[in-house]
A and B are shown apart, each in its own frame.
Chain A
Amino acid sequence: MIQLRNMTYVLRRINLDIQEGEFITVMGPSGSGKSTLLSIIGMLDDSWAGEFYFLENEVHKLDRKKRSDLNRKHIGFVFQSYHLLDNLTVYENLDVPLSYRNISRSQRASMVAEILDRFQIVGKKDLFPSQLSGGQQQLVGVARAVVGNPKLILADEPTGNLHSSQAKEIMELFKKLNEEGTTIIQVTHSEVNASYGNRTIQLFDGWITSDPANPQTSTPSVVAR
């Protein structure tokens, strides 16, 4: 699904292959490049060099618009700070990503209704984010990420602002989505959250220091202390 070859920017010569259906956890200390890796894979960040293949597309050869099209079609985001739009209701927040695709209003309504039902938040559809708890907000954040049926969900510390029971609920949700076929890449500091995934990649100072799928990963001596 994803291949990164000699990717450099904050990252140093990253080589990474991700298959469809994987649940990847990216770990590492602050400043190691976890979020940067996520934003590059999510095609939000263009400041890199190297080769990037995504679903048979040579992303490194695409212009910004085409990258945005790929992002819009195949990728969903979940953020640590939820990033729900404050002045929109839950329903409207879920409708936002769909409104940027060529989908008719009635079809959008049906898709939002389906996701509200699936996440059991129908009763909250008219509430504003400020009227929800942190866990509920992140639930909506995840719902927003999957409403367009993406092939890949990128989650940047999705439980960072939640207490443990809320975090567990969200991670169970990711697991379920993964089991249903969605590829997930999460960034986390939590070993518990990492245990929900099937592959953990360690980053340090922009280098991949550990990747079970690529045991030959070379780390410069200055990093591998």
Chain B
Amino acid sequence: MGILLQDVRYGLRMLRRSPGFTVVAVLTLALGIGANTAIFSLVNSVLLTKLPFRNPNKLMIVRDPVRSGDEGYGVSVPDFEDYRAQQHTFQDLSLWVAQSVNLTGTERPDRVIGSFVSANFFHLLEVQPIKGRTFVTGEDRPGSNHVVVVSHGAWQDRFGSDPNFIGKQLTLNGEIYTVIGILPASFHYTLADSDVWITISHYPDYIEHDRAAKNQLMIGRIKDESTRSQAAADLDVIARSLAANYPQDAGVRIALTGFQEAVTESARPALLVLLGAVGLVLLIACANVANLLLSRGAGRSRELAMRAALGATRTRIVRQLLTETCLVGLLGGAGSLLIATWALRALLKLSPRSLPVEVNTSLNWQILTFATLASLLTGVLCGCIPALRLSTIGLAQLAAGGRTTTDPQRHWLRSAIVVGQVALSIVVLIGAGLLVKSFSQLLRSNPGFNPTNVLTMEYRLPASKYHTAESRWNFHRQITEQVSHVPGVVGAAIIQGLPFSGNGGSTNFTLPGMTVASGQEPDAIGNLVTPGYFALMGISVLRGRTFADSDTSESLPVAVISQSMAEKYWPQQDPVGKEILFPHATIAAGVEARPWRAMVVGVVADVKQYKARDEHQDYIYVPYAQMPGNFGTLVVKTAVEPMSLSSAVREAVWRVDRDQPVWKIRTMEWLLDRNVAQDRFVTALMSCFGVLALGLTILGTYGVIAYSVVQRTREIGVRMALGATPANVLKLVFGEGCRIVVIGTATGLIGALATTRLLGRLLYGVHPNDPLTFALVLAAMLGAALIASYIPARRATKVDPMVGLRYE
């Protein structure tokens, strides 16, 4: 311990004596470690933070791996009852579904986030209320009491932490509910942080006996003694049995997704890529510091020789040198915390909507531990090669009587380090280049509509008040008329699932003459719109017509389909006039599934529904008038800045129904922007890492060539004495830089070819081995690094041969 303290004291003194070296090395490492700490903070918040439940790894979402999208998560009420009764590997299974709930009876109608759950839900999560109780067995049966559990946040923010809140009544979706419990502040249901919790039988789309109504999501807690694969196999056996007995369950399969995975799976690939890239940047920073240490070591040869002469073993010398580099690492680590905190805040400001969970920007023990370990590891990493090398030079110096000699091996090491730097930079830069190109493609991708000056807002009609199709259609029609008259409004329409809002749904269908087993029918996105929607959104009509006021509940059911669907099912034919059959389906929210048919009256251009990077999907539009659901998104084309009309539009809605809340008031452009938020975030970060890597590499290349010129002053002098011209010297030194850069670039190219496929899921419209991106990055790196070599090479031509010949 005493020796360690002595090494630390001596190390600090050495660092004080070389302030230039210390500042450059500490800053370099602070940048590298800071970037890593910032990304680790994101990874820690998103991927590593444990969910606030007991044994959260045992909590699973049950989904169907065969069916995609939202549909893959759905389970019907009768199927749920069967799974629950027949399974052996779960402590229990529960139903959950989230949906907005209208809160009325207060000063203004408002929307709150609701969760509809089976009665055992809180028991399964092992959550105790801070006041009152949660649900009891039987409270989730149809006809049971209207009771509600309120979140701690809603109790505080909406109801002023009323101490006598239990027993109070709330009007939710037009019905009176009694508050029975308040959840603890620590309870965050990460899948949807709801304000109110109601039993599943009160879910507007709850259908008790229909196995086709797969509207709920099933979650479960695996028994302590059971494994995940056993539990999946257990449920899969039941699924196959249900499939054999009920046509609605044909083809259903079971897979389990952990809660943590479900929350983070969308961000995981991007964060892992960023973590990898920032790790490479740290390695590049370490390489710079290692090169600095090797250069500095030349000036310490006599000291090390003297230490060896005085009896220091090689281990002792290595330890002394490593202590110094660890001190540099720790100083860099301390600086990195400031950089990381600042960088993280800047990043979250840049793209606040790109991560699935809230990121904690404050320092905690995990971040501090990471930064400390990274600092020490970095110290050892950038110090070990120089330390091992310098320790042998010390002995060599002793043998040479302390005379300074040139050390070709050390120069070789320095060159090899720069080759590594160039290679790593190429990998990071190509990754960044691919993401930049992908992002630019994404921004240029056509969503199929014109988002300019479009204001949108959502609403859901309570079943208690709007229980007939006529009443719902009247509401949709009337608010469209009211809003159309608002000054500044060009037009208004309604769509059920607005593109890029996250809403949407698919419907099964068949065509006359198509033979397909029940449950195996093809599907398409199904949506409801009012007549003016296509014109308002600038969606081109390619054949036939769109909907008209004459398409009513009394007229022939009609549909408009997308271009992709027309080409797929009616190739080289006119689909207008053809019939689509819906065996047992509904498109409208809150409307029970039934067999029906519709005639195609028009074909419109393709529209992307969920993501800018999606391929075009088959799409069926149905007029609201013929299937009026309880959910709608008001779409308002404006002549002025859209958000400036939000209050006026809301007032227009309230002129139709004073108690009807509207929410998610957003512009279409905002929704499109949100859709690429994660891509922007990752691209911006990778670009920063690319610039950092390039900068560090240029510094490294410059450093090694400049040092080489100093080290080769004698050689250059001799060569000039032997007749070398400045051009010969330039060629000699610049050639060395070229060799390093070209070898590094070639190595990096191979590395990039091997690793860019890891970006595959993050790329859009660009191949992982895109030749143009590769060529541009290689050209940029070669150009920059060669300039970095040229500057010291040019300086070498100014060496005075006499100075060179006298140089030792």
Interface with B: A26-34, A78-86, A105-113, which one?
A78-86
User: Which of A64-72, A172-180, A205-213, A215-223 participates in binding chain B?
Assistant: A64-72
Q: Interface readout for A93-129 with B: 1 if CB under 8 Å, 0 if not?
A: 0001100110000000000000000000000000000
Q: Report if B719 contacts A (CB, 8 A).
A: yes
By the criterion CB–CB under 8 Å, are B805 and A83 in contact?
yes
Q: A39-B802, A83-B805, A100-B728 are in contact. Are A72 and B714 (CB under 8 A)?
A: no
List residues of B (149-204) whose CB comes within 8 Å of A's CBs: none
Complex Cα spacing A100 to B718, Å? 12
Is A86 a contact of B725 with CB atoms below 8 Å?
Answer: no
Contacts of A39 in B (CB 8 A): 802
B420 in the interface, Cβ–Cβ < 8 Å? no
What is the distance, in angstroms, from A173's C-beta to the closest C-beta of chain B? 19
Chain A residue at smallest Cβ distance from B715: A85
Q: Which residue of B lies closest to A65 (CB)?
A: B725
Q: How far is the CB of A155 from chain B (nearest CB, A)?
A: 13
By a CB distance below 8 angstroms, the chain B residues around A144 are 722
- Is A97 a contact partner of B723 (Cβ separation < 8 A)? yes
A82 nearest CB neighbor, chain B only: B718
Whether the pair A42, B725 counts as a contact (CB closer than 8 A) is no
Q: Are B805 and A79 in contact (CB under 8 A)?
A: yes
> Interface 1/0s, chain A 44-79, versus B by CB < 8 A?
110000000000000000000100100110000101
Minimum Cβ distance to chain B for residue A225 (Å): 29
Q: Chain A contacts of B91 at CB under 8 A?
A: none
A contact residues, total (Cβ < 8 Å): 20
Chain A residues near B722 (CB-CB < 8 A): 77, 96-97, 100, 144
Q: How far is the CB of A7 from chain B (nearest CB, A)?
A: 16
A87 within 8 Å of B (CB atoms): yes
Chain A 14-28, CB within 8 Å of chain B: the 1/0 string?
000000000000000
**Please, how many residues of chain B have a CB less than 8 angstroms from a CB on the other chain?**
17
B20 within 8 A of partner (CB):
no
Tell me if B724 is interfacial: C-beta within 8 Å of chain A. Answer: yes
Query: How far apart are the CA atoms of A147 and B720 in the complex, in Å?
Result: 16
> Do A44 and B725 touch (CB < 8 A)?
no
A85 touches B718 (CB 8 A): yes
Q: Are A83 and B714 in contact (CB under 8 A)?
A: yes
Q: Which of B717, B719, B721, B728 has the most CB of A within 10 A?
A: B721
Q: Is the CB of B723 within 8 A of A68?
A: yes
Q: Are A72 and B718 within 8 A (Cβ)?
A: no
User: B802 to chain A: which residues have CB within 8 Å?
Assistant: 39, 44-45
Q: Quick one: which of B693-726 are within 8 Å of A by CB?
A: 714-715, 717-725
Q: How far is the CA of A45 from the CA of B408 in the complex (A)?
A: 29
A45 to B801, CA, bound (A): 8
* Shortest distance between the CB of A209 and any CB in chain B (Å): 24
Q: How far is it, in angstroms, between the C-alpha of A46 and the C-alpha of B15 when the chains are bound?
A: 42
Q: How far is the CA of A87 from the CA of B408 in the complex (A)?
A: 7
What B residues does A100 contact at CB under 8 A?
Answer: 719, 722-725, 728
Point out the residues of chain A lying under 8 angstroms from B721, CB to CB.
42, 44, 71, 77, 83
| Set of chain A residues within 8 Å of B720, measured between Cβ atoms | 44, 68
Contact code string B498-517 (vs A, CB < 8 Å = 1, else 0)? 00000000000000000000
CA separation between A87 and B409, bound complex, in Å? 10
> Is B404 located at the chain interface by the 8 A CB criterion?
no
Q: Which residues of B contact A97 (CB under 8 A)?
A: 722-723
Complex contacts, A68 vs chain B, CB 8 Å? 720, 723, 725
Whether, in the assembled complex, B406 has its beta carbon less than 8 Å from a beta carbon of chain A, the answer is: yes
Q: Which residue of B lies closest to A144 (CB)?
A: B722
In the assembly, what is the distance between CA of A144 and CA of B718, in Å? 11
For B805, what are the chain A residues with a Cβ–Cβ distance below 8 Å?
Answer: 44, 79, 83
CB atoms of A44 and B801 under 8 A apart: yes
Instruction: Pick the most buried of A45, A97, A101: most chain B CB atoms within 10 A of its CB.
Output: A97
CB distance B406 to A86 under 8 Å? Answer: yes
**CA–CA, A101 and B717, complex, Å:** 17
Given A79-B805, A83-B805, A86-B408: A101 in contact with B723 (beta carbons within 8 A)? yes
Shortest Cβ distance from B339 into chain A, in angstroms? 41
CB distance from A154 to the nearest CB of B (A): 9
CA distance A144 to B801 in the complex (A): 17
Give A9 to B93 CA distance when docked, in angstroms.
100
Question: Which B residue sits closest to A101, measured CB to CB?
Answer: B723
Q: What's the least CB distance linking A14 to chain B, in Å? A: 18
Chain B nearest CB, measured from A159 CB (Å): 17
Write the chain B residue with the least CB distance to A39: B802
The listed residue (B406, B408, B718) touching A83 by CB distance below 8 A is B718
Complex contacts, A71 vs chain B, CB 8 Å: 721, 723
In the assembled complex, which residues on chain B have CB atoms less than 8 Å from the CB atom of A44?
720-721, 801-802, 805
In the assembled complex, the Cα of A85 lies from the Cα of B717 at a distance in Å of: 11
Least Cβ distance of A176 to chain B in Å?
A: 22
CA gap between A87 and B715 in the complex, in Å: 10
What residue in chain A is nearest B721 (Cβ atoms)? A77
Per the bound structure, the CA–CA distance linking A31 and B606 in Å amounts to 91
Tell me how far the C-beta of A143 lies from the nearest C-beta in chain B, rounded to whole angstroms. Answer: 12
Which residues of chain B have C-beta atoms less than 8 A from A96's C-beta?
Answer: 719, 722
Shortest Cβ gap from B747 to chain A (Å): 23
A-chain residues with CB within 8 Å of residue B715 when the two chains form the complex: 85-86
B229 CB to nearest A CB, Å: 61
Q: Tell me which residues across on chain A come within 8 A of B725, comparing CB atoms.
A: 65, 68, 100
| Docked pose: A66 CA to B714 CA in angstroms | 23
Using an 8 Å CB-CB cutoff, how does the interface string of B402-429 with A read, 1 for contact, 0 for none?
0000101000000000000000000000
User: A45 contacts which chain B residues (CB < 8 A)?
Assistant: 802
Distance in angstroms from B184 CB to nearest chain A CB is 73
Return chain B residues, CB-CB under 8 Å to A86.
Answer: 406, 408, 715
Name which residue of chain A comes closest to B728, CB basis: A100
Chain B residues with Cβ below 8 Å from A79 are: 718, 805
Name the residue of chain B whose CB is nearest to the CB of A71: B723
From B408, which residue of chain A is reached at the shortest CB distance? A87
Nearest CB on B from A146, distance (A):
12
Contacts of B718 in A (CB 8 A): 79, 83, 85
Q: Please report which residues of chain B, range 704-762, place their CB below 8 angstroms from some CB of chain A when the two chains form the complex.
A: 714-715, 717-725, 728
Nearest residue (CB) in B for A145 is B722
Complex CA distance for A85 and B805, rounded to whole angstroms: 12
* 13 contacts across the A-B interface (CB closer than 8 A): A44-B721, A44-B805, A45-B802, A68-B725, A77-B721, A83-B714, A86-B406, A86-B715, A96-B719, A96-B722, A100-B722, A100-B723, A100-B725
Residues of chain B whose beta carbon lies under 8 Å from any beta carbon of chain A: 406, 408, 714-715, 717-725, 728, 801-802, 805
Apart from A42-B721, A44-B802, list 13 A-B contacts with CB within 8 A: A44-B801, A45-B802, A68-B720, A72-B723, A77-B721, A77-B722, A79-B805, A83-B721, A85-B718, A87-B408, A100-B724, A100-B728, A148-B723
The 10 tightest CB contacts between A and B, nearest first, are A72-B723, A100-B723, A97-B722, A83-B718, A44-B801, A87-B408, A100-B724, A77-B721, A97-B723, A39-B802
